[in-house]
Amino acid sequence: MSKFYNLAKFNRPIFQGWWVVLGAILALVASQGVSGTATGILQRPMMDDLGWSSAEYSLSGTISLLLGGILGVFSGQLLDQYGARKLIAIGATVLGISFIYISTIESLLVFTLLTITGGAAGASLAGPLVVNVTVAKWFVRYRGWALALGSTGISLGNILWPLLMTYVVDTAGWRAGFLWRAGLVILLLGAAALLLRRKPEDYGLLPDGVKTQNTDDKAAQVGYQAVVADETNSYTRRSAIRTRALWLISTAYGLNTAAMMAILMHGTAFITDSDFSRSVAAIAFSINGFANLTSKIPWAWSLARIPVRYLAGATLTFSGSGVALMLVASSLNSLPLVYLGFFLWGFGFGGTIPVGESIWANYYGRKYLGSIRGIGMPLTIGLGAAGPVLVGLSFDIYQSYQLAFICLVAAYFVGASLLVVAPKPTPISGVLRQSEFSG
C-alpha cells in the first residue's frame, strides 16, 4: 500500500505536483465544513434549541481562531521540517472527535471547549496555511495555476456544504449535522493526507517537474532558472520579519479573514432576518461557491500578466463590493441583488488563495515559506477572529446586521489598500545548495 502512494514512482515528475494539488482540493473542501458556511447553517437551530445568544455562539469560534493563529507560528515551522501529512492526520482526528462530542452536548461551556480545541487544531494543523504552503513548495512557474486549481476545493466546499448541511439540519436536526461534519471531514482530510508531500526535493525532483540546466530545451532552461531564482532569493524567518511588507500583508489578510469569517458565520442569519428563507440563503452561498470556482481561471491567468499586489487588492475590492450590494439588497428586499452580491463576494473570495499565496511566495520564496507565513498568523488570525464575535455583539445590541455589515465593507476596502501599497522586499543573495537540486 505504501508503494502505491509513493508518488515518486510516476514516470513524469510533473505528475507529483499535480497529485499534491488534488490533495489540496480535498483538504480545502473539508476546511469549508470546519469553519465555513456549515458553521452558520448550524447557528440559528442550535441557538434556538439551547437558548444561546449570537455572541455566545460566536465566542468559541473567535477563541479557536486566536489559538489557531498562535499555534500557526509553530505549525509553520513544523510544516517546513516534516511536511503536511502528519499535521493533517492529527488535525483531522481532533476535529472529528470534537464534532462527534458536540453532537451530544447541552452545556455552553462544553461546546466552547470542544469548539476551541477542534477549531484550533483545524486552523493550525489542517487549515489553508498547511495546505497552500505545501502546494507553493511544489511549483514556481506554474504556482499561480496550481494554487488556483487547488483552491477550487474552497469553491466546491462552498457549493456543496450549504446544500448538504441545510438538508441535514432541516430534516434531522443540528445534532445530526455535527455527525455528518465529523464523518466527511475525517474522510476528506484522511484522503488529503495520503496525497500531500513536503517538497519535491525529498523525491529527487525539482518544482514544476523541471530538469537540471544541462538540457538543450529552452523551455526547460527557463523553468530551471526560475527555480534557481526562487531558491537564491528565499528569505529566512529572521530576515522576513524585518520587512514592512510582511506586516502590511498580514494585516490586510487579517481584515479579509475577519470579514469573510463573519459573513460565513452570520450570512445565513443576515439573509433570513432580511425576510428571505433558509433555502434562499443556501442558494446564495452556493452561488458564492460557483463564483469562487469560476474566478480561478481569470485570477490565475492574470497572475502572469499583472503585478501581484494589484491583483491582491482587486480580490478584496470585489469582495467588499459584493457585501455592499448585499446591504442594498437587504434594504430593497431584492432577491436578484442578493444573488448578485454573493456572486461578486465569491468572485473576489475565489482569488484570495491563488493571489494571496502567490504574493507570499513571490515576495519571500518557497524554502522557508511555512515559517514565514507562521510569523504573520497571530496578527492575521487575531484580526480575523474578532470579526464573527463583533458582528454577533453588534446584532445582540442593535438586533440588526446593518451596521456590522457596513463595517465589513470598510474592512475589505482598507485591506485592499494595504495590499496595493505593500512593497516587494529587496531581493537577497543566497547560496544554491546543489545537493537539493539533484533531480
Which tens digit of pLDDT belongs to each residue from 188-215? 999 999 998 888 888 777 777 766 655 5
- The SS3 assignment for 57 reads helix
pLDDT at 428: 62
Determine the residue type at 248.
L
Task: Provide the sign of the torsion angle of the four alpha carbons 121, 126, 127, 129, taken in this order.
Answer: positive
Which tens digit of pLDDT belongs to each residue from 4-30? 344 444 445 555 778 889 999 999 898
pTM: 0.75
Which tens digit of pLDDT belongs to each residue from 295-322? 988 998 998 889 999 999 999 999 999 9
Please give the grid coordinates belonging to residue 298: 481569470
Which tens digit of pLDDT belongs to each residue from 369-410? 888 888 888 888 788 778 887 888 888 888 888 899 999 999
Which pLDDT band holds residue 346 (cuts at 50, 70, 90)? very high
Q: Averaged over 416-431, what is the pLDDT?
A: 79
Task: Specify burial of residue 330 (Cβ count, 10 A radius: 0-12, 13-18, 19+).
Answer: buried
HEC sequence for 343-399: HHHHHHHHHHHHHHHHHHHHHHCCCCHHHHHHHHHHHHHHHHHHHHHHHHHHHHHHC
**251: nearest Cα among 68, 426, 386, 77:** 386
- The yes-or-no verdict on residue 289 having pLDDT over 90 is no
Distance (Å, whole) CA 252 – CA 55: 25
**126: nearest Cα among 98, 104, 158:** 98
CATH H-level superfamily of 8-211+231-425: MFS general substrate transporter like domains (1.20.1250.20)
